[in-house]
Amino acid sequence: MIKTAEFVTPKHPDKVCDFIADSILDEYLKQDPDSRVAVEVMGGHGHITVSGEITSKGQVDIEKLVHLIVGANFQVNVFATRQSPEIAHGVDAGGAGDQGIMVGFACHETPSLMPLEYELARNLCKNIYQKFLVDGKVQITVDIETKKIQTVVASFQNTKSDELLKLVKQFVLAKEYLVNPAGEWRIGGFDADSGISGRKIAMDSYGPNVSIGGGSFSGKDYTKVDRSGAYMARKIAIDLIKKNHAKEALVKLAYAIGKPNPVMSTIILDSIIVPVPTNYDLTPKGIKMLLKLDKAIFAQTSQWGHFGRGFAWDK
């Protein structure tokens, strides 16, 4: 029962791209709650590219918004069109904006009902980030049965390894510490690497030890069930854990583009397959109403993970 999970700071290039994508979504939702947005962001080495589909009554200066986030020294390229008529036709009728499989999970390993290795990595990364507001990442390997940490890996830009090690030891006790294992480093973020929105999907979900769906979250409005379906699956998993006093719940939903109801809905509760309760409205509109997904709440989800943080789908 040895498990490992990683976490990265909000200054990691991939997470900056996620934050840009969700900030764009939020700005459109503030002006038009019915906005349909599906944007991807790539950045690095002085350039930011935003590409995708946007259909909204709102008007957002995307270039200005990106500059507010990353600074004025970036060349911003925006390639956005309206949602295709074929997709819009199905969504207008209440159908899903895409096909795909979504996963929700909850377990009693932590108070947040998240996997232990995941929460250990997230908490350590957050604690280090409070002192070092830079590009960085951590990785934790833990024995789930004994809850003893085997190995901690921490790499943070512009840190002295001895100082970082001392800080890490304040928060976690481990058999082995690997701090800046490749050496101290100064060049990070977009100066050192490129980033792409949606690339940290395992970290955005439950870590590498729980299956994930096929799509990313950031930059997508509720009609994209990659996001809303995953949030709803988490909500159902939590409800089942609490109602049945179970140890673990895994929920899987699958949708077809243009169709409102899932083509598959399965639950595995403590290794037993059980039917999905009929009291849930699993249509995109039903999920939007329950979880209030037409509000500008998404930029805050793009940092520190989408689950186990007290959002509506965590309650």
In this predicted structure, what is the pLDDT of residue 86? 67
pLDDT mean values, one per 10 residues, the chain (315 residues): 97 98 98 96 97 96 98 96 77 86 97 98 98 98 96 98 98 98 96 96 97 92 96 97 95 95 96 90 97 97 98 96
Angle at CA 102, nearest 5°, toward 243 and 93?
A: 105
Class for domain 100-110+207-305, per CATH? alpha beta
Q: What does R_g of the chain's alpha carbons equal in angstroms?
A: 20
Give just the sign of the alpha carbon dihedral 64, 67, 69, 72. negative
Where do we find the tokens 């944007």?
39
Single-letter residue type at 195: G
Token pair recorded at residue 70:
């990353």
Contacts for 61 with CB less than 8 Å, ≥ 6 apart: none
Q: Where in the chain is the domain with CATH 3.30.300.10?
A: 2-9+115-189, 14-88, 100-110+207-305
* Among the listed residues 94, 101, 129, 125, the one whose alpha carbon sits nearest the alpha carbon of residue 5: 125
Phi, psi (5° rounding) for residue 163? -70, -40
- At residue 28, the 3 state secondary structure works out as helix
Q: What is the CATH number of domain 14-88?
A: 3.30.300.10
Residue range 2-9+115-189 in CATH 3.40.1440.10: no
Token pair recorded at residue 42:
């790539």
- Rounded alpha-carbon distances, angstroms, from residue 8 to 12, 122, 142, 167, 182: 6, 8, 18, 17, 17
In this predicted structure, what is the pLDDT of residue 94? 86
